[in-house]
Amino acid sequence: MDGIAKYLSADMPVLQITWARYFFTVAFTLPIMFFFFNKQLTWSEKPKLQIIRGIILLCANICFFYSISVISLAKALTLAFIAPLIVTALSPVILGERVGVRRWAAVVVGFIGTLVVIRPGFVELNLASFAALGTGVMYGFYLLITRKLSTSDNPLLTLLLTGLTGAIIISFAMPFVWVQPTLNQWYLMCSIGVFAIIGHLFLILSLKYADASKLAPFSYFEIITNILIGYYFFSNFPDSWTFLGLFIIICSGIYISRRESHISSN
């Protein structure tokens, strides 16, 4: 999905690419949910929180698609990987969870990893790098809200409302930015929604069979595919500093995940 979005960004506005991601996701999932899962779609107990969650994810998607239109897939994704660190740092405030010294240390180490990637003072900072960081921050808030909703609302309903919220809001901007796509671009826009659905489907299925804390480290596998796609299709390969920063961020994220799993099992 990221590779297609980056490819389309050469000729299309980022907002239109984001619209495609939401429109086709809703267009494919809405009929399926109403025909096969309509009995599970009871109304939300926290509709305002659902709308806020949808808005935050929409903003995160806009920021990320903008960032990959300017910088490499690997660098953007590396900076966005601060999301688990944001969750750990803010969970005491938002969820009332206790975070010990070890996990706070891991958050600090992870932040150092992001500084290694962007290297302020050594390389020119650009808006795309900050947009990628903003993606990680907003996705962290998104995950925290998802945790709060998981105790009250059906996950299928949460998935549907998130998509509808984003699709409705982003559609208002389309008359101002719309670029008429070619037939091939329509296919690619549609495929963004398809890949988003497949990704969410696998995510839901994985969470059905294992705890989130055990699955979290596997999310870092995404960086491997993004490096391969970036190199093969866009001739972008991360430099050694990006790899070092990525290694630091991944280690801190995995440590936090393992620590949460250990605490929850005791």
pLDDT tens string 149-184: 767 777 777 778 888 999 999 999 999 999 999 999
Asked which of 56-65, 123-132, 199-208 is least confident by mean pLDDT, the reply is 199-208
Cα separation, 19 vs 34, in Å, equals 22
Asked which of 9-13, 55-59, 137-141, 262-266 is least confident by mean pLDDT, the reply is 262-266
Residues 6+ apart with CB under 8 A from 247: 113
For the entire predicted model, the pTM comes to: 0.83
Please state the separation of Cα 265 from the chain's center in Å.
27
- Structure confidence at residue 225 (pLDDT): 84
42, exposed or middle or buried, with CB in 10 Å at 0-12, 13-18, 19+? Answer: exposed
| Tens-digit pLDDT profile for residues 44-86 | 778 888 899 889 999 999 999 999 999 888 888 888 888 877 8
Res. 3 pLDDT band, cuts 50 70 90: very high
Res. 208 pLDDT band, cuts 50 70 90: low
Query: What tokens appear for 88 in the block?
Result: 């750990």
204-to-159, 198, 209 alpha-carbon distances in Å:
10, 10, 9
Cα separation, 213 vs 233, in Å, equals 33
State mean pLDDT over 82-91.
Answer: 78
Kindly provide the residue ranges of all beta strands, DSSP E only, lying in the chain, ordered along the sequence. Answer: none
Angle between helices 83-94 and 240-265 (to 10 degrees): 40
- Structure confidence at residue 63 (pLDDT): 95
| Tens-digit pLDDT profile for residues 144-157 | 887 777 677 777 77
Cα separation, 67 vs 132, in Å, equals 6
Res. 219 pLDDT band, cuts 50 70 90: confident
- Structure confidence at residue 68 (pLDDT): 92
120 has which bridge partners? 123
Residues shown for the chain: 266
Residue 123 in this model has a pLDDT that exceeds 60:
no
Res. 4 pLDDT band, cuts 50 70 90: very high
Average pLDDT value for the chain: 82
